[in-house]
């Protein structure tokens, strides 16, 4: 659920102090979360993405909750317990989870908009 990765040091989007909370969050979302910001100030938007969003995610490690869910999945079998997550951090998979559906995709894999190839970025 929301905040599942907070114990791994990844901030939530809408919680207190979250990326999209308050006036600064609304401005960040309106600017950096739209094609307008990317088109007019790509360097600024990209640097904020890497420093504020991507950086903490790639530095994070699965916590005990992630590992407990994997243990449960291993006990029940991956066909009996599947994950559906809105998290984009890949921590369920990093903990060993199988059958993970990522509703919002993942920031640990990028897809080329021209050729649609998937790549693992090294930023």
Query: In which element (H, E) is residue 102 found?
Result: strand 100-102
Pairwise CA distance, residues 116 & 96, whole Å: 26
Task: State yes or no: is 104 an active-site residue.
Answer: yes
Structure tokens at 24: 């600064």
| CA distances in angstroms from 43 to 40, 85, 89, listed in the order given | 9, 30, 23
29 CB burial (10 A radius; 0-12, 13-18, 19+) = middle
Higher pLDDT, 123 or 98: 98
The per-residue pLDDT of the chain, averaged, comes to 85
Q: What is the DSSP-derived secondary structure letter of residue 7?
A: G
Dig out the tokens for 117 from the structure: 């190839």
pTM over 0.85: no
Select which of 63, 66, 92, 104 is catalytic: 104
pLDDT confidence band for 26 (50 / 70 / 90): confident
pLDDT, tens digit, 9 for 90 and up, residues 106-123 = 888 877 778 888 877 776
74 pLDDT band (50/70/90 cuts)?
very high
């Amino acid at each position: 659920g929301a905040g599942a990765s907070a114990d791994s040091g990844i901030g939530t989007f809408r919680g207190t102090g979250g990326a999209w909370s308050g006036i600064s969050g609304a401005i960040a979302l309106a600017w950096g979360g739209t094609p307008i910001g990317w088109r007019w100030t790509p360097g600024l938007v990209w640097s904020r993405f890497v420093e504020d969003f991507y950086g903490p995610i790639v530095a994070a490690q699965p916590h005990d909750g992630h590992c407990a869910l994997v243990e449960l999945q291993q006990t029940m079998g991956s066909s009996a317990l599947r994950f559906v997550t809105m998290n984009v951090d890949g921590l369920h998979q990093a903990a060993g989870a199988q059958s993970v559906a990522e509703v919002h995709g993942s920031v640990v894999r990028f897809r080329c908009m021209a050729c649609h190839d998937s790549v693992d970025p090294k930023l």
